[in-house]
Amino acid sequence: MKENIIAVKSYAFAILIVELYKKLLTQNEYILSKQILKPGTSIGANVEEAIGGIAKKDFRVKISIAYKEARETNYWLRL
């Protein structure tokens, strides 16, 4: 099976988000770190669910959730 580039990149992004989360915790930043962690790791989880979707509708719903999570993560990173 061919490797899905979106799944690969969203997984790599999640790893970076976890590293950022850990670094923020060492600086006693608890609120923003949690706000970034949740949507930042959720992107890849939703992409994986979309890939495993049974119907096209499943795929569309999960990909749209991943997109929303990516936008939320972008917000928190900008903040």
CATH code for position 28 = 1.20.1440.60
How far, in Å, CA of 77 to CA of 58, rounded? Answer: 29
Q: What are phi and psi of 34, to 5 degrees?
A: -70, -35
Range of the domain at 51: 5-77
Confidence of residue 37 (pLDDT cuts 50, 70, 90): very high
Find the mean pLDDT for residues 6-11.
97
Which is nearest to 39 in space by CA: 18, 54, 9? Answer: 18
Query: For the chain, how many structural domains are there in total?
Result: 1
Find the mean pLDDT for residues 31-38.
96
Q: What is the pTM of this model?
A: 0.90
How far, in Å, CA of 45 to CA of 18, rounded? Answer: 14
Q: State residue 1's pLDDT score.
A: 67
